[in-house]
Structure 1
Amino acid sequence: MIALITGGANGIGAAVARRLAADGAKIVLADVDDAAGQELAADIGALYVRCDVSALADNEAAVAAALSTYGGLDLAFLNAGVTSGCGLGEDFDLAKYRRAMGVNLDGVVFGVHAALPALTASGGTIVATASMAGIVGVEADPIYAANKHAVVGLVRSLAGQLAPAGVRVQALCPSFADTAIIGEHRALLSELGFPILPVSDVVETFLRVLESDGTGECWFVVPGRESAPFQFRGVPGPR
């Protein structure tokens, strides 16, 4: 397997990279954290490329690196993500808003666009990291919830389009996982008694997603429950 992982230098991306590399996969780590990315790449025998996923050209360059180095691409794990750092009231910050939308939504759209020709050639798979924030509302960060809901909608909508080309597209929807992205919320979650999800649980679900035959599914990963595709029930249709 040849896999491109965005946001691959840390957190969920790094943990998945380690697991896939241990199983013999060839990995392209795409990130803006050069120090961590280069260190991890050296450790697991991967290729590191600097990639700001909010820039289309960077996504295209990361795919090109996979093709030129390894000769193909079987998996695009579009995982890079950030919190917004602002709200919609007096704390609204246009630059932070644009950055959050650029990484969390544009990064998936651009990643799909860049990787699709190579994945069509290989009959490959796209996995996008959404979040439980893509399924439920999140008062603490509505902008984050908005772009993660968009990722969920994108994955569900692309599935039928990409199926004839033999490309599967899936979404990974973890709860609050033990990564740097929860940052300042860690203490509050602990105070509220909300369990923080081990990254290893997310990795195990990711592997189940790869092994599944489905497409257009949104796999929830929450503490104390067996992961599975979320069932979008009760949507009213025309009569």
Structure 2
Amino acid sequence: MSAAGEPPEGAAPPLTGRVAVVTGGASGLGRATALTLAAAGAQVVVADVDTAGGAETAERAGAGGHFLACDVSDPDANRALVEFAVERCGGVDLAVLNAGVATGCGIGEDFDLARYRRAMGVNLDGVVFGTHAVLPALRARGGGAIVATASLAGLTAVPFDPLYAANKHAVVGLARSLGPALAPEGIRFNAVCPGFAESRIIEPIRGLLAGQGVEIIPAETVAETVLRIATGGGSGECWFIQPGREPEPFRFRNVPGPGPGPGGRAAEPGG
């Protein structure tokens, strides 16, 4: 790949012959990712509850674009999505589990159970159910890649939206844990963690962000990072994206080990 993200002259695009599934593909990060993967040579199956937007993305993806309405918070809908991709395209090599929604409530007096369940259902269950559904298809191809959309909110404290931070931290934990667990099978699981990026989620706070001088990350920047992750060799990584910085895997600190036991000796396991 060149610095501009293009393959060397005369080389096939990096995803030629591959099939990708992108959830939340009707707009924002999902749409940009679907179009970027299509430009890289993949057939792309776009999934979203927004049928008009999703169908438009699939059309813009060209002859290899397909659309299926899908609520990722429903396990059966995820299974149907994978079955559709296998029947229509012959298999799945890459799943971008991107669908996400804003929480819409806090944890105090403004707590709303339905909104909480919806946010957790899309932002966390959608990744878990999507992974569960796609693993057999990836194994059938001899391996592949999963990229989950987390957030910078999954790497740091977010006092103004702790519930969103909770589900994004969960996605980060899933990526860090499943990455090494699936790697021996040739399946790489990673997460992308953008800051404030161009998407529907920021619409309610766009004015506030502008007033504070916060730079919005273009959706295409996130999409290009997803392509880098999908075609790279890492697993269990969580790539941060911030304005003015080169995206890269976040460096987590190791947790402290056991302290010394009685008398200054190291504690025995289980002691």
Which TM-score bucket, shorter chain as reference? over 0.9
The answer on whether the counterparts of 1:29 and 1:47 sit within 8 Å (CA) in structure 2 is: yes
Give 3-state SS (helix, strand or coil) of 1:176's partner: coil
The answer on whether the counterparts of 1:86 and 1:92 sit within 8 Å (CA) in structure 2 is: yes
Q: Greater shift after overlay, 139-148 or 17-26?
A: 17-26
Aligned to 1:52: 71
Give 3-state SS (helix, strand or coil) of 1:184's partner: helix
Instruction: Note the C-alpha offset of 1:234.
Output: 4.5
1:28 to 22, 26, 45: 45
State the TM-score, normalizing by the size of structure 1. Answer: 0.97
Aligned to 2:249: 229
Instruction: Note the C-alpha offset of 1:104.
Output: 0.2
2:204 to 184, 187, 194: 184
Aligned to 1:15: 32
Give 3-state SS (helix, strand or coil) of 2:22's partner: strand
Instruction: Note the C-alpha offset of 1:82.
Output: 0.5
Quote the Cα distance in structure 1 between the aligned partners of 2:57 and 2:174.
30
Question: What are structure 1's unaligned runs of at least 5 residues?
Answer: none
1:199 and 2:216 are equivalent in the alignment: no
Instruction: Give the 4+ runs in structure 1 shifted more than 3 A.
Output: none
Matches within 5 A, 1:96-115: 96-115=115-134
The answer on whether the counterparts of 1:17 and 1:27 sit within 8 Å (CA) in structure 2 is: yes
Matches within 5 A, 1:163-178: 163-178=183-198
Q: Greater shift after overlay, 192-201 or 145-154?
A: 192-201
Give 3-state SS (helix, strand or coil) of 1:114's partner: helix
User: How many residues in Structure 1 have an aligned counterpart in Structure 2?
Assistant: 239
The answer on whether the counterparts of 2:36 and 2:224 sit within 8 Å (CA) in structure 1 is: no
Question: What are structure 2's unaligned runs of at least 5 residues?
Answer: 1-17, 260-271
The answer on whether the counterparts of 1:83 and 1:141 sit within 8 Å (CA) in structure 2 is: no
Give 3-state SS (helix, strand or coil) of 2:67's partner: strand
**CA RMSD, 1 decimal:** 1.0
Structure number with larger C-alpha Rg: 2
Instruction: Note the C-alpha offset of 1:42.
Output: 2.1
